């Protein structure tokens, strides 16, 4: 187990810079998730940590040891790959112990290690099979077994669940989380799935175009996204962005959203100091679907600040637990999360409540959080 530090890490392929000054530091036992759309550089970053690619600049440290020029096999890391990368010609047992064998661990110790890991992952019955005789979920377990058996400082996971079907993915997600809690291992996990990121991580690094957009705890990233990209990427359905103006409404700051007939005015209580400079200017008003609900009162949930407005319903999408209600405000489709028993009919005029305690304002030009 060890901490991991990435200090101003850069990576360029020729003139193309794929990673720009990445600074990340996690403590021993943390679960770091690198998340972002494809091509954002998250897998490259993982390969840099693994040593499968060399960084162009910056420093990578495991614990206090700088590992930039250390060969992958000497970094004391283990990696689980998206395709599992099980050796097709070897049995499960051989697959798991191959790394130990190469490192000169005695046969007796190898047998004990493989038995322990097989028990932990419940793959004892599969040890003498070849990878081709295993199902996707079983292969996944074997791939994890191969990483676990080495007892490394850091585990690296490269989209390990993306080849599994939806149901199995959720199960394995829980198992990985359990495993992390039991072993207390330091894990770096790459995914493009923001739900995986939210559920697994102790800290998330959101990336886009080789730039680290935000590095924080899942809850902070969810509640206080750094910019419009992070706000839109994390959370499903994603955050609503509405073009609005910040106004001074009788001494209180408020968000004014233009409409054909009358504007929606949503007052902001306890507005942070940073909002002051934007009074009278355009802003992007971000509110998550769960912040827009059927009509509620402040007493429903202490600490919330509900303000009501009427709007025509365009489409409804029931999900069972909630009914996603699509309305049009300011020329944009906005999703509100409504309790099924309060769900409207399309075309109906309905009163919505906006919870103003959980909103974000962004600069429309820089797209940064205000």
Residues that bind another protein (CB under 8 A): 50, 52, 72-73, 77-79, 81-83, 85, 87-90, 98-99, 102-103, 146
Burial 175-191 (b: 16+ CB within 10 A, else e): bbeebbeeeebbbbbbb
CB of 312 to another protein, least distance (A): 50
**86 vs 246 by CB, closer to another protein:** 86
**79 vs 292 by CB, closer to another protein:** 79
Rounded to the nearest 5 degrees, what angle is found at the Cα of 25, between the Cα atoms of 21 and 26?
A: 150
CB of 336 to another protein, least distance (A): 43
| Cα separation, 12 vs 114, whole angstroms | 39
- Per the document, the length of the chain is 370
CB of 133 to another protein, least distance (A): 14
CB of 110 to another protein, least distance (A): 13
| Cα separation, 194 vs 221, whole angstroms | 11
Three-class SS state of 368: strand
CB of 73 to another protein, least distance (A): 4
Three-class SS state of 341: helix
**87 vs 310 by CB, closer to another protein:** 87
| Cα separation, 257 vs 361, whole angstroms | 13
**83 vs 297 by CB, closer to another protein:** 83
CB of 123 to another protein, least distance (A): 17
Burial of residue 53 (CB within 10 Å: 0-12, 13-18, 19+) is middle
Alpha-carbon dihedral sign for residues 122, 84, 195, 182: positive
**61 vs 94 by CB, closer to another protein:** 94
**99 vs 330 by CB, closer to another protein:** 99
Rounded to the nearest 5 degrees, what angle is found at the Cα of 97, between the Cα atoms of 146 and 109?
A: 120
**49 vs 201 by CB, closer to another protein:** 49
| Cα separation, 72 vs 66, whole angstroms | 13
| Cα separation, 35 vs 15, whole angstroms | 24
CB of 197 to another protein, least distance (A): 22
Two tokens, residue 333:
């489709």
| Cα separation, 357 vs 253, whole angstroms | 13
**96 vs 356 by CB, closer to another protein:** 96
CB of 47 to another protein, least distance (A): 8
């Amino acid at each position: 187990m060890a901490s991991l530090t990435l200090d101003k890490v850069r990576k360029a392929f020729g003139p193309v810079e794929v990673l720009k000054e990445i600074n990340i530091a996690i403590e021993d036992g943390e679960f770091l998730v690198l998340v972002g759309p494809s091509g954002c550089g998250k897998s490259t970053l993982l390969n840099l940590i693994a040593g499968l690619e060399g960084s162009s600049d910056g420093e990578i440290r495991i614990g206090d040891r700088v590992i930039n020029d250390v060969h992958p096999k000497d970094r004391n890391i283990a990696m689980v790959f998206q395709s599992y990368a099980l050796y097709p010609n070897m049995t499960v047992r051989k697959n798991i112990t191959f790394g130990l064998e190469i490192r000169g661990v005695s046969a007796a110790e190898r047998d004990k290690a493989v038995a322990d890991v097989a028990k932990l992952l419940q793959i004892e019955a599969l040890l003498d099979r070849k990878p081709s005789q295993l199902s996707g979920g079983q292969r996944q377990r074997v791939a994890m077994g191969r990483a676990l058996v080495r007892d490394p400082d850091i585990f690296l996971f490269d989209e390990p669940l993306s080849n599994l079907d939806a149901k199995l993915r959720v199960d394995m997600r829980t198992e990985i989380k359990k495993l992390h809690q039991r072993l207390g291992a330091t894990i770096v996990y790459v995914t493009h799935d923001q739900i995986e990121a939210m559920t697994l991580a102790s800290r998330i690094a959101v990336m886009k175009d080789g730039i680290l957009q935000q590095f924080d705890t899942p809850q902070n990233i969810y509640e206080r996204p750094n910019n419009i990209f992070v706000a839109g990427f994390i959370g499903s359905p994603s955050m609503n962005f509405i073009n609005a103006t910040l106004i001074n409404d009788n001494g209180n700051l408020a968000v004014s959203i233009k409409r054909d007939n009358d504007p929606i005015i949503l007052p902001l209580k306890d507005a942070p100091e940073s909002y002051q400079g934007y009074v009278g200017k355009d802003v992007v008003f971000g509110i998550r679907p769960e912040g827009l609900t059927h009509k509620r009162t402040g007493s429903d949930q202490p600490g919330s600040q509900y303000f009501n407005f009427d709007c025509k319903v365009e489409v409804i999408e029931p999900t069972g637990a909630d009914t996603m209600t699509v309305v049009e405000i300011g020329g944009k489709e906005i999703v509100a999360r409504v309790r099924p028993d309060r769900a409207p009919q399309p075309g109906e005029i309905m009163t919505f409540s906006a919870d103003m305690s959980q909103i974000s304002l962004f600069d429309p030009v820089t797209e940064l959080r205000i």
